[in-house]
Structure formats: structure tokens, C-alpha cells
Amino acid sequence: MTTTITFIESHLALFGLLWTITSFGLGVYFGHKLQIGRDKRKEFNIVADEIFLMLDRFIDDCADRKRDFPKISRNDLRRLRPHLTPKENQCYKAAVDQFFGALDNCSTYDDGRFVPSLREPKDVLPATIALIEFVKHR
């Protein structure tokens, strides 16, 4: 027992150096991991904010009973896919398909227009709200 204590006392500087190196390495590793997570969230938020604004404007237009077709394409919504996990990607793709399916079901070419308009804007709201759940700020 006394030999262990004398060994620790005689090599105290070595233990301090090892502890410093270990704690520095762990700090660098975990700090790097946290920074990568912040970068991923920042990239997601940059893309998601634009999509959120488009969808939010469309929801407001639907609430005001405007029948104009939204200026949102599949390519606009596709930009978010690289920032999602595979499971989120499947659910997001289903929500996008549901949104565009609802738009197709509600589109009409009445009034002699060349572009489609919405027959009943409130029918598209549930699909839009389901889609907007994916683009909330993280």
C-alpha cells in the first residue's frame, strides 16, 4: 500500500500531464461533434426557412379564400431532403406527395384561365399543415 502511495507521489507530474492530455483530447473530440451538429442544424434552417415562408404565405392565402395556385414546386421542396435522416425522408416524401396530390385534386381551369386555380382552398390546408411540420426551425 505504501509503495503505491509513494509511486503516485513520485510521479505526480506525470499523472497531471496524462490527465491534461486526456481531458484536452476529449474536449476537442466532443466539441467537434457538437460543432458538426450545429452546422447541420444551421444548413437545415437556411433551407427550411425559405420553404416555411412559402408554405405559410400559401396557408394565409387559403385562409383569405384566394384561389391562386401556390408558387411551390417539387424542386423547391426537394432541397430539404439531404438534410433529413432516412426515416424522416420517407415521411417527408409522403407529405410532399400528399400535398401535391391535394393540389391536383383541387385544381381547376375555370374562368378561361391558362393556369390552374384552386377549387376549394380549405381542402388543401391539412396537407399543407402536415408538410409544414417538417420545415419548422430546429
Q: How far apart are CA 63 and CA 91, in angstroms?
A: 26
Global pTM reads 0.70
107-108 and 117-118 beta bridge pairing: antiparallel
Residue 138's pLDDT band (cuts 50, 70, 90): confident
**Predicted confidence (pLDDT) per residue in 89-108, tens digit:** 899 999 999 988 888 887 76
Radius of gyration of the chain (CA): 27
Q: Is 67 helix (H, G, I), strand (E, B) or coil?
A: coil
Contact 105/116 with Cβ under 8 angstroms? no
